Amino acid sequence: GKTELAKVLSEFMFGDRDSLIRLDMSEYMEKFNVSRLTGAPPGYVGYEEGGQLTEKVRRKPYSVVLFDEIEKANQDIYHLLLQIMDDGRLTDSYGRVVDFKNTVIILTSNISSRMLEKGTSLGFHKDDDELNYDKMQKELKQDLKKTFNPEFLNRLSETVVFRPLELENIVSILDVQLQALNEQLIQQGLTLDVSDGAKRWIAEKGFDATFGARPLKRAIQKHLEDVLSDEMLKGRFKDGGLIEVSLQDDSLVFVEKTDAVNVG
């Protein structure tokens, strides 16, 4: 949800989802990796490539910059972020000043995972006296204060606590993912129609209270994309066909309607 929001925001603000610069902070856990963001020092491998952050912003100054799972980053990342938020600029390894004044900085964190593990398997509910959303917000903000120092938190314009996803939310996300899959299939002369029962079955396979919607992509690949690819390689599905996916005896069944109209 958080990453998808950043993609939608980049499209809304700059007219292009490719305006999103995503940085996985798990790749910057070690101190020596932090320099890769502004570029390797002269004489070191990668110097000619420029910084993984500064070079992208220099080439596309109107961008949404996503620091994903910021709590995993080395402490030196915070010094770099403070400079961006205070001065609106960074100096790369070439000595060039890169302007960040037209960027939107988003930091995501999964420090709420511990709390989610205490909740119900399908998230929290408003009538849950033990762990409702209001209480969750307060506890998460206390966790933020324990994880990040006040100097850093005071630079943030806003903190948004996402509600835990429920199964119905996963089904809605699945609909978006299926639309993208269908667009790929249409280019190959095929159309996909997944029944409501099959959708819910896939959503259940791809739901995790701790990790949210991320397992859903693996479920789609395993139960839909891999099966479709295998059958297409066997030549089962013909051009112009409609592939109907339904649920029977706790398994997905793929049936082709060759006389279907190709909506592509």
- 91-127 core/surface letters (b: 16 or more CB in 10 A; e: else): ebbbeeebebeebbbbbbbbebeebbeebeebbbeee
Write down the pLDDT at residue 260: 38
Are 97 and 171 part of one and the same domain?
Answer: no
Are 101 and 195 part of one and the same domain?
Answer: no
What is the CATH classification number for the domain harbouring 80?
Answer: 3.40.50.300
Span 205-226, average pLDDT: 86
Mean pLDDT score of the chain, rounded to an integer? 85
Are 103 and 187 part of one and the same domain?
Answer: no
In a domain, 159, yes or no: no
Write down the pLDDT at residue 259: 43
- 23: Cβ–Cβ under 8 A, 6 or more apart, which residues? 37, 52, 53, 65, 66, 67, 68
Structure token pair of residue 260: 């279907």
Name the DSSP letter for residue 40.
P
Are 19 and 106 part of one and the same domain?
Answer: yes
In a domain, 263, yes or no: no
Are 102 and 179 part of one and the same domain?
Answer: no
In a domain, 193, yes or no: yes
Domain finish residue from 91, 110, 129 = 110
Are 9 and 91 part of one and the same domain?
Answer: yes
Are 14 and 103 part of one and the same domain?
Answer: yes
Statement: residue 131 has pLDDT above 60: no
* Domain with 8 in it: 2-110
- 37: Cβ–Cβ under 8 A, 6 or more apart, which residues? 23, 28, 51, 52, 53, 54, 77, 80
> pTM, whole model, 2 decimals?
0.73
What is the CATH classification number for the domain harbouring 221?
Answer: 1.10.8.60
Write down the pLDDT at residue 177: 92
Burial of 152 (0-12, 13-18, 19+ CB in 10 A): middle
In a domain, 138, yes or no: no
CA distance linking residue 197 with residue 6, whole number of Å: 31
Among residues 45, 34, 54, which one has the least CA distance to residue 94? 54
Write down the pLDDT at residue 258: 60
Span 207-217, average pLDDT: 78
> Bigger pLDDT: 143 or 258?
143
Among residues 53, 51, 82, which one has the least CA distance to residue 66? 53
In a domain, 228, yes or no: yes
In a domain, 117, yes or no: no
Domain finish residue from 63, 88, 110 = 110
> Bigger pLDDT: 248 or 260?
248
Choice among 103-117, 119-133, 160-174 with the minimum mean pLDDT: 119-133
What total of structural domains would you count in the chain? 2
Statement: residue 263 has pLDDT above 60: no
Structure token pair of residue 210: 């701790």
Domain finish residue from 72, 93, 110 = 110
In a domain, 154, yes or no: no
Write down the pLDDT at residue 126: 45
In a domain, 36, yes or no: yes
> What distance, in Å, lies between the first and last C-alpha atoms of the chain?
29
Write down the pLDDT at residue 118: 56
